[in-house]
A = this chain, B = another copy of it.
Amino acid sequence: MKRDSRLSSVLHALLHMAEQDGPVTSETLALCLGTNPVVVRRTMGYLRQAGIVTSERGHAGGWRIHADLGSVTLRQLHEALGEPATFAIGNRNETPECLVEQTVNAALEGTFAEAEALLLTRFSEITLADLASDFARRHSALRHSRNKS
């Protein structure tokens, strides 16, 4: 099953952008992510539409975060990306005539809905600022362990 990794990608990109003062080009982000500048533009375009980032063309152009890190949640990013399907497991037929299959669908849908609600709740509780501070902690821990050795 091929997973949608855009949320992971934009988080990676945004945290790198947060470390920079000026704008960051698609080229640079593509190098960070191990992909292609066009893919970066395509994906970041969703965030621009949602007002989370801005882009500038020409010399010294690139991408900037256009929001407070503490105000952007994973849920907002997920929504900006079009709320892609959460689960890789699903019903065989979404609108079956067969009563047996309707029963199966109802049971699975209820369960998936509950798990998705939990996921989205957690997403809404995590901000870019949280991740940035997690990163700072890891970074400093790494420095300490390097100094020791």
Q: Which A residues are closer than 8 A to B by beta carbons?
A: 1-5, 7-9, 11-12, 15-16, 19, 32-34, 74, 84-93, 98-108, 111-112, 114-116, 118-119, 122-123, 126, 130-131, 134-135, 138-139, 142
A85 to B: closest C-beta gap in Å: 5
- Residues from chain B with a CB closer than 8 A to the CB of A101 are 8, 12
- Specify how many copies of this chain sit in the oligomer: 2
Most buried by B among A100, A107, A118, A135: A100
Once the chains bind, are B131 and A104 in contact (CB under 8 Å)?
A: yes
A5 to B5, CA, bound (A): 21
29 of the cross-chain contacts (CB-CB < 8 Å) are: A1-B84, A1-B85, A2-B2, A3-B87, A5-B89, A5-B92, A7-B89, A8-B104, A8-B105, A11-B107, A11-B108, A12-B92, A12-B100, A12-B104, A32-B98, A34-B92, A74-B107, A85-B88, A86-B89, A88-B88, A99-B135, A99-B142, A102-B138, A103-B134, A106-B134, A107-B131, A111-B123, A115-B118, A118-B118
